Structure 1
Amino acid sequence: MKIYRNLEDFIPLDNAVVTIGTFDGVHVGHQKILSTLRESAKACKGETVLLTFFPHPRLILHPEDDSLRIISDFDEKVHRLADAGIDHLIITPFTRDFSNLSPEEYIREVLIGKIGTKKIVIGYDHRFGKDRTGSLKDLLDYADIYGYSVEQIPEQDINDVAVSSTKIREALIKGDIDTANTYLGYPFQLTGKVIRGDQLGRRIGYPTANLLVQESHKLIPAYGIYAVETAIIEPAHIETGPYIAHPPEHVIYGMGYIGTRPTVDGVGRSIEVHLFDFNSDIYGKTIRVKFLDFIRHDRWFESMEELIQQMKMDEQQVLAFFDRTSG
């Protein structure tokens, strides 16, 4: 997959088959749309192009609204789209000027002038242009004028995207990792840098890597204990050009914690991972944590001794989960 950080970097293709969207999570609903896109391009011997935006349009159009929570950060989304077999990914900066293009300007200047669209694969509810006034009807009305065809994604597939996104978010908020991962088609993950904590975990026999998630709008699952897989990765610096996937990862099993540590201080949220059979210094490293199973919700204990006893039981449950799934 080739990546372009701006429409200006893209050289229009002779036979571009295009779809557009945020594709947050690149979950099973999105994967059906991407499958349609690939099949359509294969049928007409074209190349697939996915046009997406950064930052998320809601952050530009409604900066006062802080409710946006995304399923995948930028690097995670790129990784999933590469796995989906997209030929070209255009990540265009979303600005007020861009949002003020009329529907016809959007079609003429962006889809035709910048991309060379010969076919667009899009859903019935897709909106674009100034005040989101552009619709499927506009795309169909201008098709003959600008020399492209339109393939409408079935309404059921579009509904599957909305249903999947909603169910993933609801499940993560409740700690229902099984449901979230089923709708994602892969394990939910958090990516961030390991920072120094107060070393409490080390003092009680459970040293942890404290994770700083740098994407401020990333959805964080329910507070509690999880079975996790962790890998140390190189942070992505994605520029224009071919996407280079992360090298094979050395997976480390562990026990994850999200919460406010109510027994200790109860101030501020912590995201921590206790890694099994691992004692290397990884401060400053970037790690990816995959959430595989939910063990219990976060809660207050009357003493540190009671907390430590519970953590020992949590560890046994996590180890039992890995024993079951590794066989």
Structure 2
Amino acid sequence: MKIYNQLSDFKKLDNAIVTIGTFDGVHYGHQKIVKRLCELAKSSGGESVILTFFPHPRMIIDPENQDLKMINTIKEKAEILANLGVDHLIITPFTRDFSNLSASSYIKDILVDTIGTKQIIVGYDHRFGKDRKGGMNELIELSKVYGYSIEEIPEQDINDVAVSSTKIRNALLEGDVSLAAEYLGYYFSINGPVIKGDKIGRTIGFPTANIFVEETYKLIPSDGIYAVTVEMSQEFVEEGLEPGHSTRNSQPTTFKGMAYIGQRPTINGMTRNIEVNIFDFNREIYGQTIKMNFLKFLRHDVKFTGLEALTLQLHQDKEDTLSFFNSQPNIK
């Protein structure tokens, strides 16, 4: 998949099959749109194009609201879309000027003149242009002028509940990573380099890798303990590479573990930490970027009377985590 960080980098195509949206989460409903996009591109001899935006439009239109967090970083989103078989991803910087484009200018200047759109695939609720006034009616009307065709994907349901990025965000903020995974079609994850902590976990038999999430807009699930899998470079694990060594082209190795998110109230912690105790793993991995997949919420964060009580609970947490994995034989 080719990635473009602005429209001016894109060379107009002869037969572009296009869909547009923020696609935060690239959830079950998004995936149906993207798969249909790729099917149509293949059957028509065209090329699939996704036009997405960064930052999220709501961050620009309502800058005072700092509560909106994203399910995916832009890099995570790109990786998921690439795996779905998309040919081109255009990441358009969303600005005030861009938000003020009329629906007709949006279609003519961007979709037709810049991208070369011959067919547009959109979800049932797609809106665009200044004040989100553009919709299916405008797309149909202007298709008569510019000669593109349109296909609308109907609302997608899971267990009679409409899938939406908002519902997924709410599930994650409540710690319900299992429900989020059902909506997403994959496990929610956090990616980041391992940084040094205060090493208290080592003193009680539960060493942890502390993960630093650089992207401040990335959603972090509710505080608590989770069953997780951890992916890291196979090349690093097998060959003993030094921290910071590039392993971009290697395949990941997966480990099981239990993660903690919270401020560590038992030791009067002041900052929110993201830590993971990786089972059957005892190497130093400072500086290495790892991916942590959230499979199941185990318990909320609580303050214990001291480290001894905390240690006893961590042993129970590990037993609960292993019991979960033993009940899920398909998780390797």
Whichever residue aligns with residue 123 of structure 1, its letter is G
- The DSSP-based 3-state class of the residue aligned with 1:290 is strand
* 282, 296, 303: which one aligns with 1:300: 303
Deviation track 1:48-99 (CA, whole Å, cap 9, x = no partner) reads 1110011111112211111211111111111110111111111111122222
Q: Name 1:114's counterpart in structure 2.
A: 114
Separation in 1, partners of 2:165, 2:117: 28
- The DSSP-based 3-state class of the residue aligned with 1:126 is coil
Deviation track 1:241-294 (CA, whole Å, cap 9, x = no partner) reads xxxx86310112211001111111142211101112222221122111011122
- The DSSP-based 3-state class of the residue aligned with 2:180 is helix
Whichever residue aligns with residue 93 of structure 2, its letter is P
Q: Contact conserved, 1:233 with 1:288, CA < 8 A, in 2?
A: no
Shift of 1:156: 4.6
Separation in 2, partners of 1:109, 1:252: 48
Whichever residue aligns with residue 18 of structure 2, its letter is V
Shift of 1:29: 1.2
Q: Contact conserved, 1:123 with 1:136, CA < 8 A, in 2?
A: no
Q: Contact conserved, 1:143 with 1:149, CA < 8 A, in 2?
A: yes
Shift of 1:133: 2.1
Separation in 2, partners of 1:152, 1:308: 54
Q: 1:85 and 2:85 equivalent?
A: yes
Q: Name 1:260's counterpart in structure 2.
A: 263
| Bigger RCO (CA 8 Å, 6+ sep) | 1
Separation in 2, partners of 1:161, 1:179: 11
Separation in 2, partners of 1:113, 1:201: 58
Q: 1:285 and 2:283 equivalent?
A: no
Change beyond 3 A, Cα 1:9–1:233? farther
Q: Name 1:132's counterpart in structure 2.
A: 132
Separation in 1, partners of 2:144, 2:118: 11
Q: What's the % identity of the aligned pairs?
A: 56
Once the two structures are overlaid, the 10-residue window that deviates more, 74-83 or 315-324, is 315-324
Q: Name 1:22's counterpart in structure 2.
A: 22
After TM superposition, the structure 1 = structure 2 runs for residues 26-175 of structure 1, keeping only pairs within 5 Å, are 26-156=26-156, 163-175=163-175
Q: Name 1:242's counterpart in structure 2.
A: none
Give me the CA root mean square deviation: 2.1
After TM superposition, the structure 1 = structure 2 runs for residues 199-214 of structure 1, keeping only pairs within 5 Å, are 199-214=199-214
Q: 1:179 and 2:182 equivalent?
A: no
Q: Name 1:240's counterpart in structure 2.
A: none
Shift of 1:24: 0.7
Give the paired residue count.
316
Q: Which residues of structure 1 form unaligned runs of 5+? A: 235-244
Separation in 2, partners of 1:246, 1:258: 30
Shift of 1:301: 1.0
Shift of 1:176: 1.9
Shift of 1:38: 2.3
Report the TM-score when normalising by structure 2: 0.89
Whichever residue aligns with residue 174 of structure 1, its letter is E
Separation in 2, partners of 1:41, 1:144: 21
Deviation track 1:83-134 (CA, whole Å, cap 9, x = no partner) reads 1111111111112222222212111110011100011111343222222222
